[in-house]
């Protein structure tokens, strides 16, 4: 038996972050077996001495580990050649990590970190993969092409499919010993940015002045939508869960579901009028969100149930908003999120300071906020150009 071992940077494999695996590579009778020890960028690798360059912030730690692993590997080679060890003693018969293995580990990680929103997204994709027994190392572009076709058949659009690809790629990167290959990293689908539909001042006035049956659900939906706009374009999920007690001394105090930030908003007169109208009628301010924790369920199970109920309530609200749009003669796909776009348009018309409008809309960063504003301005520019063409 011929056997040797060497330590090197595996340049033909590239991880999602652009780094390459640092591997111990055994050559056993012309068959290669690799063990990934760490990763680094090619620019940080000293190929002459097979070690991480000293400028790397963890060079000492990584190089110390590499020296120990190489010494151990060389000892194994010597003992195999001497007949003291067998190949199986060193390598065993390691089972390949399958897609199902990765999903199981990821669900445990998400539950441990209380990431209930992502938990159900992973479970949903798990149900859409025909064969979850495939090894992560066998997933390639052809496999992704088949999955893209499946997602398309399910009615998913480009943006949704790309998000699912990113999630799957994340599983491979986290749980595959080989990391993400360049082929998998480069998988993309064409996406188009959706128009950020918003209401004009005239359309908003029509909704405000619309006469609806008192006490009916559709009236509460209209008032919820208007209150979203009056409360700086607040996300519908946060308002659905609000209690009347959260509105005190002319302010609304709440913790945003998406960012977990505690926020406070001043109530303008129109907002105060809606709050006064519904205070004391229901357990929460509006009648839609009725979920209560299950005392026998875990905190994680309850949070998953809460998010699912929030999504169900949002669907009910959006269904009624479509009816309201028809009653007002608004030829737009009215939804709760349009309240956010409408406030954003009003804000940038009045305030020429992105730092202020970023805080108003609760965006996590200036880059995210600037992209959002650019989309709104671009949509308006295209709308105006079309009016000029056909006007």
- 2 vs 292: which has the higher pLDDT: 292
Count up the domains in the chain and report the number: 3
Enter the tokens of residue 185. Answer: 């990293």
Whether residues 315 and 370 share a domain: the answer is yes
Mean pLDDT for the chain? 87
The answer as to whether 191 is a domain residue is no
pLDDT at 133 over 90: yes
How far apart CA 300 and CA 302 sit, in angstroms, is 5
Could you list the residue range(s) of the whole structural domain that residue 369 is in? 201-390
pTM across the whole model = 0.65
Both 80 and 118 in a single domain?
no
Last residue in a domain, options 158, 185, 212: 185
**pLDDT by residue (tens digit) across 89-129?**
777 666 789 999 999 999 999 999 899 989 999 999 999 99
Same domain, 368 and 342: yes
Q: List phi, psi (to 5°) of 345.
A: -60, -45
Give yes or no for a contact between 192 and 378, defined as CB atoms under 8 angstroms apart. no
**pLDDT tens, 38-56?**
989 999 999 999 999 999 9
For residues 240 and 120, state if they share a domain: no
Q: Is the pLDDT of residue 287 over 70?
A: yes
Of 155, 185, 215, the domain-final residue: 185
Share of the chain above pLDDT 90, in %: 60
CA gap 277, 250 in Å, rounded: 14
Q: What does the pLDDT read at residue 356? A: 61
> Does the structure show a pLDDT above 50 at 385?
no
Residue with tokens 């609760």: 362
50 contacts: CB under 8 Å, gap ≥ 6: 6, 7, 8, 66
Residues 179 and 71 in one domain: no
Confidence band of 375 (pLDDT split at 50, 70, 90): low
Domain contains 135: yes
User: Residue 113 belongs to a domain with what CATH number?
Assistant: 1.10.150
Contact 84, 6 (CB under 8 A): no
Query: Could you tell me the pLDDT band of residue 278, with boundaries at 50, 70 and 90?
Result: very high
Residues 166-205: b if buried by 16+ CB within 10 A, e if exposed: eebbbbbbebbebbbbeebbebebeeeeeebebbeeebbe
Helix extents (H) in 23-140: 59-81, 87-91, 99-112, 116-128
Whether residues 167 and 215 share a domain: the answer is no
The size of the chain, in residues, is: 391
In a domain, 285, yes or no: yes
Task: Say how far apart CA 248 and CA 244 lie, in whole Å.
Answer: 8
Are 231 and 246 spatial neighbours (Cβ–Cβ below 8 Å)?
Answer: no
Residue 179 sits in the same domain as residue 104:
yes
Q: Among 55-59, 131-135, 270-274, 283-287, where is mean pLDDT lowest? A: 55-59
Q: What is the per-residue pLDDT across 314-373, written as a single tens digit (0 to 9) for each? A: 999 999 999 999 999 999 999 999 998 888 877 776 666 666 666 656 555 667 666 666
Q: Which of 70, 91, 112 is the last residue of a domain?
A: 91
Classify residue 28: in a domain, yes or no: yes
Domain-embedded: residue 207: yes
Whether residues 140 and 19 share a domain: the answer is no
Residues 174-192 have pLDDT tens digits of 888 777 888 888 999 887 7
pLDDT at residue 314, as a whole number: 97
Does the pLDDT value for residue 387 go beyond 90? no
- Say yes or no: 82 and 117 in one domain: no
The reply to whether 26 falls in a domain is yes
| Same-domain pairing of 377 and 243 | yes
Same domain, 215 and 160: no
190-242 residue pLDDT tens = 877 666 788 989 999 999 999 999 999 999 999 999 999 999 889 999 999 99
Looking at residue 110, its pLDDT comes to 93
Q: Are residues 142 and 290 in the same domain?
A: no
pLDDT band at residue 386 under the 50/70/90 scheme? very low
């Amino acid at each position: 038996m011929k056997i040797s071992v060497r330590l090197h940077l595996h340049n033909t494999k590239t991880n999602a972050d652009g780094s390459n695996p640092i591997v111990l590579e055994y050559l056993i009778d012309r068959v290669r077996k690799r063990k990934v020890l760490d990763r680094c960028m090619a620019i940080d690798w000293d190929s002459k001495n097979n070690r991480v360059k000293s400028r790397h912030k963890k060079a000492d730690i990584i190089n110390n580990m590499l020296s120990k692993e190489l010494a151990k590997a060389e000892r194994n080679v010597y003992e195999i050649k001497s007949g003291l060890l067998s190949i199986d003693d060193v390598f065993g018969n390691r089972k390949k990590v399958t897609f199902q293995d990765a999903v199981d580990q990821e669900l445990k990680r998400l539950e441990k970190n209380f990431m209930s929103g992502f938990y159900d997204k992973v479970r949903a994709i798990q149900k859409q993969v025909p064969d979850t027994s495939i090894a992560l190392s066998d997933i390639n572009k052809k496999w992704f092409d088949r999955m893209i076709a499946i997602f398309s058949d399910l009615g998913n659009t480009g943006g949704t499919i790309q998000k699912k690809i990113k999630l799957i790629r994340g599983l491979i990167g986290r749980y595959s010993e080989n990391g993400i290959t360049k082929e998998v990293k480069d998988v993309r689908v064409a996406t188009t940015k959706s128009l950020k539909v918003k209401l004009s001042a005239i359309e908003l006035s029509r909704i405000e002045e619309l006469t609806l049956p008192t006490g009916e659900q559709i009236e509460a939906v209209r008032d919820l939508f208007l209150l979203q706009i009056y409360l700086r374009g607040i996300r519908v999920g946060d308002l659905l869960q609000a209690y009347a007690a959260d509105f005190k001394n002319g302010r609304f105090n709440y913790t945003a579901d998406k960012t977990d930030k505690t926020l406070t908003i001043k109530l303008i007169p129109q907002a105060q009028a809606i709050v006064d109208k519904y205070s004391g009628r229901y357990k929460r301010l509006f009648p839609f969100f009725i979920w209560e924790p299950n005392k026998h369920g875990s905190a994680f199970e309850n949070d998953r149930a809460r998010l699912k109920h929030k999504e169900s309530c949002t669907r009910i609200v959006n269904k009624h908003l479509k009816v309201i749009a028809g009653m007002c003669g608004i030829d737009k796909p009215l939804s709760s999120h349009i309240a956010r776009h409408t406030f954003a348009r009003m804000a940038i018309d009045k305030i020429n300071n992105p730092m202020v409008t970023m805080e108003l809309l609760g965006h996590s960063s200036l880059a995210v906020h600037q992209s959002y504003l650019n989309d709104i301005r671009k949509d308006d520019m295209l709308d105006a150009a079309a009016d000029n063409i056909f006007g």
